[in-house]
Amino acid sequence: MTIAIIVHGGAKTISDDKTQANTEGCLTAVQAGWEILQRGGDAKDAVEAAIRTLEADATFNASIGATLDREGQVYLDAGMMESKGLRWGGVAAVQRVAHPISVARKILEKKSYFLVAHGAEQFAEEQSCEMCEPDSLISEEQRQMWEQEQMPEDRSSTVGCVALDIHGNLVAGTSTGGLENQPPGRVGDTAIVGCGLYADSRGACSTTGDGESVIPVVLAKTAVDLLSGDTASQDGIVARHPEQAAQQAIEVLKQKVPGEAGCILLDRDGRMGWTHNSQDMAVAYMSEALHQPAVFTCKQQEAVNALS
């Protein structure tokens, strides 16, 4: 069995002054997850650790630094799913939780539920998850933009991670603050299984982008389905490479709906792919084939070696 991990920092436009922060944030996250996988740890732990790192980084639209809705409030959504038993957990519209991905993970372990708002916060408290004041999630930058009614030049975006552990478990996780200026009560795709995330025995996918476009094409499940391929061989169906499957999934979205999206995809052999139709998407990944993690902001044409 091989191990692998890939993270994204959202489908968006990354301004030049934010490129380094996006790159470093994704690298730190992938390293946190990789250390766990390397020790023989569970892919759920790796995905949770990677996403917690991104949630704690105000560069990204997840937890601290999340975008504000029309009323100047932060509402967070997150989900996690594993191939083992197709177990999943989701939370949406939470305000008092520091790391929504950890709450989604706890739900996955208890019972596959989608908990929202007050009920999700109550569950988080009962499970001794880290609670916080809603205002502590609001960064100065987001507050100022909201007060000045500015739409940021570089839209902040959702984070996600997919990982394969030594036991063959594939896990997907995604976490977001939603869209800038979203109407109160709006919930996007991020925590919805099949849309913002999906994992089964074939692969795992985490998506990002306009939830209103991701949902109708069930983007994460579409990408994993496309891994199955369509070419028959003597041994049966030939699996499609995740790079190709990810591209085809985004093609499906482009053909059917307007809007921007991106996805990261990992198959059961530890092969990876990612695509987006937004201008940029920061991605970092690590596998046994590499000596050190690689990072790619998609502005650049080449993967940048992590430690060089």
Structural tokens at position 258: 């307007």
In the complex with ligand ASP, which residue's Cβ is closer, 200 or 260?
260
> Interface residues for ligand ASP in 93-132 (CB under 6 A)?
none
Task: Kindly tell me which residue out of 176, 206, 287, 297 binds ligand ASP, with binding defined by CB under 6 A.
Answer: 176
Task: Kindly tell me which residue out of 53, 139, 190, 297 binds ligand ASP, with binding defined by CB under 6 A.
Answer: 190
Task: Kindly tell me which residue out of 41, 178, 242, 273 binds ligand ASP, with binding defined by CB under 6 A.
Answer: 178
Burial 106-143 (b: 16+ CB within 10 A, else e): bbbeeeebbbbeeebbebbeeeebeeeeeeebbbeebe
Q: Is 158 a catalytic residue?
A: yes
Q: Indicate which residue of 23, 158, 176, 275 is catalytic.
A: 158
Burial 210-235 (b: 16+ CB within 10 A, else e): bbebbbebbbbbbbbbbbebeeeeee
> Interface residues for ligand ASP in 196-255 (CB under 6 A)?
208-211, 214
**Of 117, 119, 261, the residue nearest 190 (C-alpha):** 261
Instruction: Return d(Cα 234, Cα 239) in angstroms, integer.
Output: 13
79 contacts ligand ASP (rule: CB under 6 A): no
The number of residues making up the chain comes to 308
In the complex with ligand ASP, which residue's Cβ is closer, 42 or 180?
180
Count residues binding ligand ASP (CB under 6 A). Answer: 14
Regarding beta strands 88-94 and 114-116, do their DSSP bridges make them parallel or antiparallel, or are they unpaired? parallel
| Residue the block writes with tokens 């209103």 | 212
What is the closest distance, in whole angstroms, from the C-beta atom of residue 46 to ligand ASP in the complex? 21
> Interface residues for ligand ASP in 129-158 (CB under 6 A)?
157-158
Beta bridge partners of residue 173, listed in sequence order: 80, 161
In the complex with ligand ASP, which residue's Cβ is closer, 161 or 306?
161
Instruction: Provide the binding-site residues for ligand ASP, judged by CB under 6 A.
Output: 10, 157-158, 176, 178-179, 188-190, 208-211, 214
